[in-house]
Amino acid sequence: MSTEQALTRPLTMALSKGRIFEETLPLLKAAGVHVAENPEESRKLIIATSNPGLRLIIVRASDVPTYVEYGAADLGIAGKDILNEHAAEHPGGLYQPIDLNIAKCRLAVAVKNGFDYAAAVRQGNRLRVATKFVHAAREHFAAKGVYVDLIKLYGSMELAPLVGLADAIVDVVSTGNTLRANDLVAVEDIMPISSRLVVNRAALKTRYAELQPLLDAFERASQPSVA
């Protein structure tokens, strides 16, 4: 997209459906922005807001960094887990000015209940790990001196240890209910996760006057309240 084309359209924010979208709504409201439609009830992928200078596009969570980096969106919101994986392949591609403190969870290692994880991760051992967070998993186990065969999956991660595809999984854990329902247990945390605002670097320069008030409002709204 050319700079001229970008300047003639409203600011575009990339969001994913679900928890991140729901928890972003109060931040938008704090910035004086109301969303015209709920993407869970609409098939529209481009959603207008009460601010004619801002529109939302609804994309897969894992695609948010790509839309922002390549300028199809000026800014977006994505989890630290996804941003870390993107940064491993595209270092320096995105500006990440604000931790919004929303959609909090953790990236963890989980195994089938009864699996001797402590014995499996003794230095020098080899482990089969299923995950879509390949970079984070590789770094985590390398630091422990454990060799891993990484199996990349995109969904139904919990199935892998149950059918013998993998010894362990690395996945996002929120309540742990899905793990328990499938007789799995989280055995080790890799990192805490929250969602962050990311900005296209070129847009930050060419559309600074439009972006900065929104960034300021998001930063104020994301600060923990002091009782």
Q: What is the mean pLDDT of the chain?
A: 92
Query: What is the rounded distance in angstroms from the CA atom of residue 1 to the CA atom of residue 62?
Result: 21
pLDDT value of position 227? 45
Mean pLDDT of 3-21: 83
Backbone angles phi, psi at 191, to 5 degrees: -165, 150
Do residues 100 and 200 both lie within one domain? yes
Do residues 100 and 14 both lie within one domain? yes
Do residues 71 and 88 both lie within one domain? yes
Q: Which domain holds residue 129?
A: 105-192
The CATH number for 111's domain is 3.40.190.10
Q: Residue 6: which pLDDT band, with cuts at 50, 70 and 90?
A: low
Handedness of CA 172, 174, 178, 183 (dihedral sign): positive
Query: What is the rounded distance in angstroms from the CA atom of residue 160 to the CA atom of residue 162?
Result: 5
In a domain, 227, yes or no: no
Question: How many domains are contained in the chain?
Answer: 2
Do residues 198 and 169 both lie within one domain? no
| pLDDT tens digits, one per residue of 89-126 | 988 889 999 999 999 999 999 999 999 999 999 988 89
Do residues 81 and 13 both lie within one domain? yes
Radius of gyration from C-alpha coordinates of the chain: 20
| pLDDT tens digits, one per residue of 15-68 | 999 999 999 999 999 889 999 888 888 889 999 999 999 999 999 999 999 999
Beta-carbon contacts of 82 under 8 Å, excluding residues fewer than 6 positions away, are 61, 62, 64, 65
Do residues 75 and 119 both lie within one domain? no
**CA 34 remoteness from chain centre:** 23
